[in-house]
Structure 1
Amino acid sequence: MSLWLVLAFPAACVAAGVRVEDMSGQALVLDAPAQRIVSLAPSLTELAYAAGAGERLVGAVAYSDYPAPARRLPAVGNANRIDLEAVLALQPDVVLAWGSGNPPAQLARFRQLGIPVFIAEPHSLDDIALLLERIGVLAGTRARADQAAREFRARRDALRARYSDRPVVRVFYEVWHRPLMTVNGDHTISAVIRLCGGRNLFADLPQLSGQVALEAVLAADPDAIVAGGMDATRPEWLDHWQRWPRLRAVRNAHIFHIPPDLIHRHSPRILDGAERMCELLEQVRQSQ
């Protein structure tokens, strides 16, 4: 990843201007901190609020439901299909986009129309702290954003100190059941597993998130199976693993659920999911 830069324009240019490099390596230049921001991912909506920029948000995609004020934002489609006209009507100073989740053609169209696009594509927990800081620069809320980033790093470091050197727990993280999907070692979910002293059994998967054969999971014989699902309720399909009673995770009742909003979203709440993950993996260790 290229170095993140935050530079102020010389006073001879525009004293209040900002320049920020996003996670694609693209430099964004604004004449002044953004006053009108549109978020194209629920996680980015959460990050904006955490960075003190919630009052600058004028629109967001579906499922931007945290914190509570986000539910009142005008909708601009969903992460996979953005309503271009709705975004344009909001006259944003900048659009916060999810690099691997939003349609590239639509992001290119925003740029063609002169709307700056800030690309976020976090692959580590530190990237989340960096995003807080960068959004704070974009929105002119650096003091609040920098404090949020410091608190995030301190909480992450406390979890790392407590759990990362504990005996390794071999984990299969199930994103979805049909088709059977998981994540590789570059995904933030893998970062959470490592933070808790676990090992993602499919870290070598070529894609960030992709299909895996049932036979491969059975052969790997994980110590624990952890899944997110669609909402805060435990997905019924986790019970399908009971068909393989010899599987170590089934035999020892180590099949767990973490609400997806706490682990699938690249926001400060991922540490809530990490705390849950660490507690679950500790249960596995205590039973061995």
Structure 2
Amino acid sequence: MLHKWILAAFVSLLGTSSLLADETTQARCVVDDKRRQICLDHPAQRIATLSPGATELMFAAGGGDQVVAVVTFSDYPPEAQAIESLGSLTRLDMEKLISLQPDLVIAWVTGNPAEQMERLEALGLKVFYLEPRRFADVSSTLLRLAHLAGSDDVGQQVAQAFEEGINNLQQRYQNASPVRVFYQVWNDPIMSVNHEHLIHQVIELCGGDNVFADLPRMIPRLDTESILSANPEAILAGGMGEENQAWLDHWQQYPHLHATADQNLYFIPPSLIQRPTPRLLQGAERFCQALDEARAKRQ
């Protein structure tokens, strides 16, 4: 069974009225991450996912066969690459999107252009907004998307497996000695994450101490001097592509930086750490392993 706090959150997000409606009809309602109730008369049959993470989440929730439109970089699972693309998540081909007549659009709160989303809503399209910022949010999103797609059993199984994996890591690392960490989310300008971001939850999960946790912006912009001043023990980064570790090369030129001196420069494939999907568990496992290696190098 799913953990009680996941189930409680799911019931709250579904709403009592939707549960009663489902007893006699195929209608289904959930509350999205903008706290708006989204109701469908029947399970969605034509779904547009407007971020790579949304695409992956919908497939994981069992609704992949109903996805008719994605955006660029929707590369997982491989079947998603064959679906018609609407262009960039920040510059959508609105005419193409509307022509596909989706009965459900999955949008990213802070990623898709607000004016384009408002236009879709004005046209009467059902838009579900997602913005997971906690591990529980990933599980909850899977359950809600599965409910809208009519694949509740699949959503529950995947959410449960994700939750169990995260719980195992929490138990393993709850007493781990702290490692001061800088996570690099972009290189030009240099960007990191503060305590509001889901990646920060991964850092804490693994016993890391996010050196930029207290900055006011969720995605703070930084300069090299800021990182040198913070002097993290480990630097972890994604990159431009799943195997491109070039961002870490920049830090090799600073031999007195703690992370460089100990060679604690680690690459995490961005799709495993920067998408709020079940594969975040794999990213977290790699993240924790990197911090374990950093601990082992201590004198």
Pick closer, same or farther for the CA change 1:61–1:184 going to 2, 3 Å: same
Is the CA contact (8 Å cut-off) linking 1:9 and 1:15 kept in structure 2? no
Within 5 Å, give how 1:1-288 maps onto structure 2. 3-7=12-16, 8=18, 10=20, 15-288=25-298
Residues 202-258 of structure 1: CA distance to partner in whole angstroms, max 9, x if unpaired?
011222112113222111110101110111223323112122211111110001111
C-alpha distance in 1, partners of 2:57/2:23?
A: 30
Q: Tell me how far 1:66 sits from its aligned partner.
A: 0.6
Is the CA contact (8 Å cut-off) linking 2:239 and 2:246 kept in structure 1? no
| Stretch of structure 1 that moved more, 14-23 or 51-60 | 14-23
C-alpha distance in 1, partners of 2:190/2:269?
A: 18
Q: Tell me how far 1:9 sits from its aligned partner.
A: 6.3
Pick closer, same or farther for the CA change 1:34–1:12 going to 2, 3 Å: closer
SS at 1:58 equivalent: strand
SS at 2:30 equivalent: strand
Give TM-score scaled by structure 2 length: 0.92
Is the CA contact (8 Å cut-off) linking 1:58 and 1:74 kept in structure 2? yes
Q: Which amino acid aligns with 1:255?
A: L
C-alpha distance in 2, partners of 1:254/1:234?
A: 17
Structure holding more helix per residue: 2
C-alpha distance in 2, partners of 1:9/1:207?
A: 38
Residues 45-93 of structure 1: CA distance to partner in whole angstroms, max 9, x if unpaired?
1111111100111111111111111011111121101111111111111
SS at 1:192 equivalent: helix
User: Structure 1 segments of 4 or more deviating over 4 A?
Assistant: 9-14
| Stretch of structure 1 that moved more, 3-12 or 156-165 | 3-12
Pick closer, same or farther for the CA change 1:6–1:142 going to 2, 3 Å: farther
Structure 1 gap ranges (5+) = none
Pick closer, same or farther for the CA change 1:9–1:246 going to 2, 3 Å: closer
Give TM-score scaled by structure 1 length: 0.96
What percent of counterpart residues are identical?
42
C-alpha distance in 1, partners of 2:187/2:280?
A: 22
Q: Which amino acid aligns with 1:188?
A: L
SS at 2:281 equivalent: helix
Pick closer, same or farther for the CA change 1:166–1:12 going to 2, 3 Å: closer
Q: Which amino acid aligns with 1:183?
A: V
| Stretch of structure 1 that moved more, 210-219 or 50-59 | 210-219
C-alpha distance in 2, partners of 1:62/1:272?
A: 23
Is the CA contact (8 Å cut-off) linking 2:21 and 2:28 kept in structure 1? no
Pick closer, same or farther for the CA change 1:261–1:35 going to 2, 3 Å: same
Is the CA contact (8 Å cut-off) linking 2:22 and 2:28 kept in structure 1? no
C-alpha distance in 1, partners of 2:52/2:153?
A: 23
Pick closer, same or farther for the CA change 1:234–1:11 going to 2, 3 Å: closer
SS at 1:38 equivalent: strand
